[in-house]
Amino acid sequence: MNLERWLSNSWLRKHQSSRQEIQNLLQIVSRDISDAQGPLSADWRFGIAYNAALKLCTILLHGSGYRPEKTLHHYRTIHSLPLILGESVQGDCEYLDVCRVKRNQAEYDRAGVVSENEADELIRFVEDFRMTVLEWLKTEHPEWL
């Protein structure tokens, strides 16, 4: 499977990104990483960190010339990672998908779903993942940095 196949399946549509769009998304990531470390419940800290991770995935997808269709937006954005960065990030994709489900439970179903350790772990993941995305941008779109 590749992004062109996803496009032909109508899971994605073409997207023309820009330096301004990428800079705006990176600012959201920075804000969310900072806010996720604040004195909030683990559920909210996790949700904010998840949002930062999703924005990083969005940067990769937009930078590759695509955006997801509305149906399964988060799922497709996350699952595009191995198609963009390679199979070596399949584990990261699976981890973020587990986080997606947990975040949905905390957001829509019940409080207390996330432990402090899980929130801290996701925040650390996002900080590392941001470096991966910045390296990708330096290689693929240095004009956007």
Q: Which domains does the chain have, with CATH numbers?
A: 18-140 (1.20.120.330)
Write the DSSP string, the chain.
--HHHHHHTTSEEE----HHHHHHHHHHHHHHHHHHTSS--HHHHHHHHHHHHHHHHHHHHHHTTEEE-STTHHHHHHHTHHHHH-GGGHHHHHHHHHHHHHHHHHHHT-S--S-HHHHHHHHHHHHHHHHHHHHHHHHH-GGG-
Determine the average pLDDT of the residues in 136-145. 97
Which pLDDT belongs to residue 1? 81
In tens, the pLDDT along 48-105 reads 999 999 999 999 999 999 999 989 999 999 999 999 999 999 999 999 999 999 999 9
Determine the average pLDDT of the residues in 11-36. 98
Which pLDDT belongs to residue 126? 98
pLDDT of residue 111 exceeding 90: yes
pLDDT of residue 44 exceeding 90: yes
pTM: 0.97
Determine the average pLDDT of the residues in 110-122. 97
Which pLDDT belongs to residue 92? 98
